[in-house]
Structure 1
Amino acid sequence: MTADRSSARTAPRVVVDRGRLELTRGRRQLLDGPVDDARESLLLAASLLAADMPELAEAARMSAAEAAWAAGDIAACLSVLDGEAPAGPGRTGDAFLRDHRDGMRALLARRPELAVGPLRRVLDRARTEDRPERLLRAAAAALLLGDLREARAAGARALAAARNTGCVASEARALEYLAYGELRAGRHAQARAHAEEGVRAAAAAGHRNTTASHHAMLALAASIEGDTGAVEGYAATALTIARRHGLAQAATLAEWAVARADLARGRPLDAADRLGPLVGPGPRRGHFAVWMLAVPCFVEAAVLAGHPEDARPLVGDLALWAAFGADPHAPAQLARCRALLAPGDRADDLYLRALALHDEAGGDFERARTELLYGRWLRRRRRLREARARLGAALVGFERCGAAAWAEQTGAELRANGAASRTERAAGLARLTPQQLRIARYVAEGATNREVAQRLAVSTRTVDYHLRNVFATLGVRSRIELALMVGQEDR
């Protein structure tokens, strides 16, 4: 009998110890391992701890939801959030975690009206918190609500708390939330600074998953600046880790960055090809919390590549996203996308509407993109004075936020707006040899030198040689200017 009582006392202790072990393992895998494995360890921890340590069990369940979120598995995320973590006798559980859980669940179930209250309570409770993990949850709640100011404030407090306690892992996560919040707010230089610091902190902690997220955000920041080599390098690092560990969110951000760099360099067909699977329906669609952010880029790329029909079905999704309110730039982007797809002169009012909405949301980059597209549209309708004003405003906006490739594209439009006539341009193209003209046309369509070489059955070196001569003969300095000149002749 005594031995039976002793075994009964020992059994719960063994279960709790096993639960703690699984919780530690799961949290480590969440930061540095396959996130699907992390979710299973964390769910096991939640079940083992539920009877004796319900608050710790709830924390394990919320971490399991984070793992499902990182994997982009919305069904698994909802399943985790719907599960029960029973409280012990006389206990009601952790209100902070419960509210965060209820808010996430409501959003994923497409019931945003039920999410606002719980998530706002998370933010209110966090105002008196000094624990990094609670402040990180507050930053996540603010991002879910689209309250970017609160997200940056909570992220900054989490960073200070992490540094105060010497927790390098929390420091890297806080910098991740800060960088992402800055990107969403259109503050790309600040996002890059936080992400660069985050890479160092994540490396010091040995957390590759956090490293992948920071590299994806560095790729996005570089895509604004137009540094194609940097974008490809950062994105490759992010994707290597993301594919190995099942990080759908980091992978989607990295792919979007590469596509946006293609768009900046005047290669809309490449951008549309890369973004199409991410934003379209099907198993290759990007992360459920991120793919909508890339839709405006895809619409622009598809229209500029001459395939507007590919973009039309996505405008309805973008309208729902804009109405949700989690992205301050979405209403203006929606108006811009509608302008790109509008027939005849209906685009005029839509572009003006987009610019008015940009004034409300703030941010130089998105506004400058709309000014560029509007100026291009005006120029093609021979409204040259209006086009000059819009393109000039776009150039100032791009230069202000350091978007060098976008500024170069705008400069080419400005030169075309007041440069040589169509006859003079045609005469310039007439000076090309037949082979040079073929290469010029392929390049103007967005083909790379290697693709041109394959089409013409020549070496890449031969294409490089001819293209240099094309540039010198026509007096152009970039592929974008060449595309504009070829386009002028074809109209």
Structure 2
Amino acid sequence: MTPSTTVRSPLRLYGRSGELAILETLLARLRAGRGSTLVLTGAPGLGRTALLRHALDLSGPEAPAPGNARGVPVLLHATAAPAERLLPYSGLHTLLCSAPGPLPPPVAGIPRPDTAPTALLDLLTTLGALRPLLVCVDDAHAWDAGSRAALVFAIRRLTPARRVAVLLTAAEQHAGERDFTALPSLRLGPLDRSASRALLDRLTGGRADPGVREELLREAAGNPRLLTGLADRLTEDQLAGRGGLPQPLSGGESLLDAYAAHIDGLPDDTRLLLLFAAAAEEHEPEGAGADAAVLLRAGQLAGVDPGLLSPAETLGAVRIDGGRVHFTEPLLRRALLRRAPLARRRAVHRLLATVLDGPHRTLPRLVQRACAATGHDPALAEALARAAGPPRPHADRAAALSRAAALSTDEALRGERFAAAAEHAWLAGDPGRARALLTRVRSVPAPGRAHYVRGLIALRDGPAADAGEALLTAAELLAPHDRGRAVGALLGAAEAAWLTGDVPGYLHAMNRIGGRERPPGRSHDPALDPAPDPALDPALDPALDDFRAGMCAVLDGRTDDGRALLRACLDTGDRTGDPAVLLRSGIAALVLGEVDAACRAGARALAAVRAHGPEALLPQALEHLAYGELRAGRHARARVHAYEGLRAADRLGQRNAAAALHAVLAMAASVEGDGAACTEHAASAAADAGPHGLGQAATLATWAVARADLAAGRHTRAAARLAPLVLNGPRRGHFAALMLAVPCFVEAAVLAGRGEEARAVVPEFTAWTAWTADPQAPAQLARCHALLAPAGEAADRYEEALAHHARSSGDFERARTELLYGQWLRRQRRTREARDPLRDALVAFERCGARVWAERAAGELRAAGESVAGSGPVDLLTAQQRRVARCVAEGATNREVAVRLSVSPRTVDHHLRNVFAALGVRSRTELARLLDRDEENAANP
């Protein structure tokens, strides 16, 4: 194999911001004349040496220093040479040879065993008195014993005032070495996923195929040195996914040898038991460890006392917890398997297969036999594939099918099995593993199931349009022999079109779900072609056909037909526990406006996913439930579900779901009055919604920011944000959300003086209200009419809206109507009548946690002449706004205020507009009266 010459080394450290900050603090203290000590520990390859070199770079002559060059420390730097470990004081000799100039007299006594510790202490003290001193030793554990003892002796006696900083790196829990355990230490852990991906993108120039990238990240386990070695061995074709990856991956041999060397001093029988433990984890879920009972039986068969595992536990190589044996470092397990001779490793796997007897251990036994196989074994592959059926967890089925594929001789069957393994990995919530398995599908053409899985992955973590095309292709390839997945692919393609707002694309995909007869096809392995899923096949689930026909009718304008069909879906959803059916039932309920039914379906889908899986559906279940709670006006509940869904989406690598959940959180924040959170979540939603074409998430995010503007009294800005979404034009919002945003736009447009635009959208909203069952829609429509009505009709329209609100739940929407009604009454100089709706609005906003909206209601209520408990109107203003308001209340003009406060007249005008909006006043006279009442209330609480 020809290594790629384009892979580059990283130019900076990744994922070590905390460690770098600690090092910078140590050096800053040293420059300020304060010494300290730090030992960097960790497993091989995690970056101990890189961090030490970074500290050296920071402290060198090019490093910034306070005042003058005297702040730059003197350096003593040594790297241990294992070959010199038996030479007395060779370590100290190397350290002293690194001095930039002649050393003071104490250096003469260092080579003498009786004076070395005190002589080194005297030397460091003397050097620190002349200038700050930094002592760096890499791999200090590999020094000779005398040098280690002298160094630790000196460190323990160096006070901060000596101006000596010592930075060491040492292996963690090295056999027999405990010299540095009492010193302050910082343990390095593996890089997190984000840092590992950033490092790999730097190493490969971002050219790695997603599946190849996932395989490299999985194999490296967060170890930057191993990741660098693995990437360096791949060719351009292999990186791009055009050539198969070597199995196992090469490039980390020296690092794995370093891990294996950790146990070299253990007895032979102990190391054999560790090899048993490493091999036994092959049939266990990742991170589950090995079954101690299995190791006990294996040890007995091999004639080894299982109690000899204790030295490994004492060394820290393993820990025993609840009958399970876990390696403290996952790479140590891999190192043991790779280091063992092939014949010995196969013998261990065969012995474990013998131990794993009984029908309940069929799959683990077959996995161990597969590990011991010497080549392709079609019979064993067939047995593995048949054992990988329900009710086994998807992760187990993926592992078994991938082994079955590797043992298969027929290339087409191998590709089918890898694709099946990828699907189960995806369902288990491991899209990275699914991508990696898809790279091993080498058959041409690729099976339809591979396209299907690629489409599913892209649907949750890629451009929705690309996902739709992949799923349409998969449906065409699967239709002749796998009706269930073909229908599933078409449903996925329809969902992709829904996400983008592509109505014709949605109708095209749904209308391709047709006949009820299963076409004849070739016989398949049950593990690869199980019984059809009734949740996907209209032939076995008539409710799916009702859903398809109902959704198509609604989007085609045949709303009466669609409503009847979708109601049948709700009835079916009440009788099932299948999460896919329940999610469709929830969608149907949201389209109909049956928000309580949508919440019930969402809650039941979430419970079903939590109980039975698949894990991949968890973010969608939480997202749909959060949507239902939003529509029902229960914003706090929606926020809780959305946060949980966001964590699940991040963990499962589903960025599209994360974007939708960020949009939900922005909507909740726009109600609760947290403007910063609303803006942040909306920006996070837009970050993926734009590149991935997620029209629904983008519409919700924009609506949320506009509603936050509306809450803060920024009516013109809110109208400007919403106008492109609700008015006809190329930038119109998503068809499923734009009607919901119309009441906000009408309010913002009317208050901003854009009444004609508001009137333009009311007819369509009226038609939507006529058929939807959304309990808020009639009240919102009446409110829109009230905002647009002449003065003689507005009151009746507001009363009509309040009457509709009385027949439904939802404090927030009712309070908004009451606020607008009270505001209108006050501006009609009917201040006494205005107080009741304003008071009710204030209480309702406070009850649903809408802080900024409550402040608006309180300001209006004060302007209507009623004292409001709590903070006065001035407390709603910033400090500068208070100063401007006081000056204006005293009768000063804007120019006079500008001179008095040393600002421009334009700034005064800006602040005064915000003061009027925040306090709900329209004139300087009203402002003066309001501030006078506030002062009276403060004086007479």
TM-score (norm 1): 0.86
Are 1:58 and 1:97, in contact at CA under 8 Å, matched by a contact in 2?
no
Structure 2: distance between partners of 1:19 and 1:435:
76
Does residue 297 in structure 1 map to residue 735 in structure 2?
no
The answer on whether the counterparts of 2:889 and 2:925 sit within 8 Å (CA) in structure 1 is: no
From 236, 248, 261, the equivalent of 2:683 is 236
- The structure 1 residue matched to 2:699, chosen from 242, 247, 252, is 252
Q: Go from structure 1 to structure 2 and tell me whether the alpha carbon gap of 1:427 and 1:273 turns closer, same or farther (over 3 Å shift).
A: closer
Matched letter for residue 518 of structure 2? G
The answer as to whether partners of 2:538 and 2:544 remain within 8 angstroms in 1 is no
The reply to whether residue 88 of structure 1 matches residue 518 of structure 2 is yes
Aligned to 2:481: 52
The structural deviation recorded for 1:16 is 11
Determine the C-alpha separation between the residues in 2 that align with 1:404 and 1:478: 18
Question: Take 1:322 and 1:196, find their aligned partners in 2: how far apart are those partners?
Answer: 31
- What residue number does 2:865 align with? 418
Query: What is the DSSP-based 3-state SS (H/G/I as helix, E as strand, rest coil) of the residue aligned with 1:361?
Result: coil
Q: What amino acid is the match of 1:416?
A: A
| Counterpart AA for 1:88 | R
Sort the Cα spacing of 1:32 and 1:242 in 2 relative to 1 into closer, same or farther, 3 A: same
Q: Which has the higher contact order (CA 8 A, sep 6+)?
A: 1
Q: Which has the higher mean CA deviation after the structures are superposed, 78-87 or 229-238? A: 78-87
- Residue of structure 2 in register with 1:430 after alignment: 891
CA distance 1:15–1:315, shift in 2 (3 Å): farther
Task: Give matches, 1:238-387, under 5 Å.
Answer: 238-387=685-834
Specify the alignment match of 1:222 in structure 2: 669
Change (3 A) 1:127 1:195: same
Residues 217-275 of structure 1: per-residue CA shift (max 9 Å, x gap): 00000000111100000000001110010000000000000000000001100000100
Answer whether contact 2:711 2:856 (CA < 8 A) is retained. Answer: yes
Mapped contact 1:32–1:208 kept (Cα < 8 A): yes
Contact 1:46 1:56 in 2 (8 A): yes
- In the alignment, the residues of structure 1 paired with residue 780 and residue 890 of structure 2 have an alpha-carbon distance, to the nearest angstrom, of 36
1:156 alignment partner, one of 572, 590, 603 = 603
1:21 equivalent in structure 2 = 450
Letter paired with 1:59: G
Alpha-carbon offset, residue 131 of structure 1: 2.4
CA deviations 1:87-118 (Å, max 9, x no partner) are: 43499724232221111101101112111333
2:631 is the counterpart of 1:176: no
Shift of 1:168: 3.1
Q: Provide Cα deviations, 1:286-342, integer angstroms capped at 9, x if missing partner.
A: 001101111100100011112211211111011011112142211100000100000
Match of 2:463 in 1: 34
> In the alignment, is the contact (CA less than 8 A) between 1:220 and 1:253 conserved in 2?
yes
2:237 is aligned to none
Per-residue displacement from partner, 1:37-87 (whole Å, max 9, x unpaired)? 011111111111222222321221111111100000112112222235444
One-letter code of the match for 1:297?
C
Is 2:860–2:920's contact at 8 Å kept on the other side of the alignment?
Answer: no
* 1:438/1:66 CA distance change after superposition, 3 Å: farther
Structure 1 residues not aligned, in runs of 5+ = 1-6, 441-451, 457-462
Instruction: Quote the residue 1:167 is aligned against.
Output: 614
Higher strand share: 2
Q: Please state how far the C-alpha of 1:283 moved relative to its aligned partner.
A: 0.8
Distance 2:445 2:596 in 1: 40
Greater helix fraction, Structure 1 or Structure 2 = 1
Whether the 8 Å CA contact 1:259–1:274 is kept in 2: the answer is: yes
| Kept after mapping to 2: 8 A contact 1:15/1:48 | no
Distance 1:211 1:104 in 2: 25
Closer, same or farther: CA 24–380 of 1 in aligned 2, 3 Å: same
In 2, Cα distance between the equivalents of 1:396 and 1:379?
18
Q: Residues 39 and 180 of structure 1: is their aligned pair in 2 closer, same or farther, counting only changes over 3 Å?
A: same
Distance 2:899 2:607 in 1: 59
For 2:743 and 2:826, the matched residues in 1 are separated by 22
Q: TM-score normalised to the size of structure 2?
A: 0.46
Report the counterpart of residue 201 of structure 1 in structure 2: 648
The correspondence of residues 59-74 of structure 1 with structure 2, limited to 5 A, is 59-74=488-503
CA contact (8 A) 2:719 2:748 kept: yes
Q: 1:433-448 residue pairs with structure 2 within 5 A?
A: 433-434=894-895, 436=897
Matched-pair contact (CA < 8 Å) for 1:279–1:295: yes
Q: In the alignment, residue 302 of structure 1 is paired with which amino acid?
A: A
Say if 2:918 is the partner of 1:480: yes
- Which amino acid in 2 is paired with 1:335? A
Deviates more, 1:386-395 or 1:317-326: 317-326
Of 557, 560, 563, 1:116 maps to 563
> Offset of 1:439 from its aligned partner?
13
The one-letter code matched in structure 1 to 2:499 is A
Q: Matches of 1:412 and 1:372 in 2, distance apart?
A: 11
**8 A contact 1:135–1:154 mirrored in 2:** yes
Q: How far is 1:144 from its partner?
A: 1.6
Match in the other structure for 2:553: 106
Root mean square deviation of aligned Cα: 3.2
Letter in 2 for 1:480: A
Deviation at 1:432, TM superposition (A): 4.3
**Structure 2 unaligned blocks of 5 or more:** 1-409, 417-442, 521-536, 868-884, 928-941
CA distance in 1, matches of 2:584, 2:712: 38
Distance in 1 between residues matched to 2:922 and 2:853, nearest whole Å: 15
CA–CA separation in structure 2 for the residues paired with 1:486 and 1:209: 50
> AA paired with 2:475?
A
Whole-angstrom CA distance in 1 between matches of 2:899 and 2:634? 42
Contact 1:365 1:401 in 2 (8 A): yes
Structure 2 letter corresponding to 1:434: R
Counting matched residue pairs gives 455
CA radius of gyration, larger in:
2
Post-superposition Cα deviations, 1:122-172, rounded to whole Å, max 9, x if no partner, equal: 222233322222221121121122111221111111111111124332111
Amino acid at match of 1:428: A
Distance 1:438 1:164, change over 3 A: farther
The 1-side partners of 2:796 and 2:638 are apart by 33
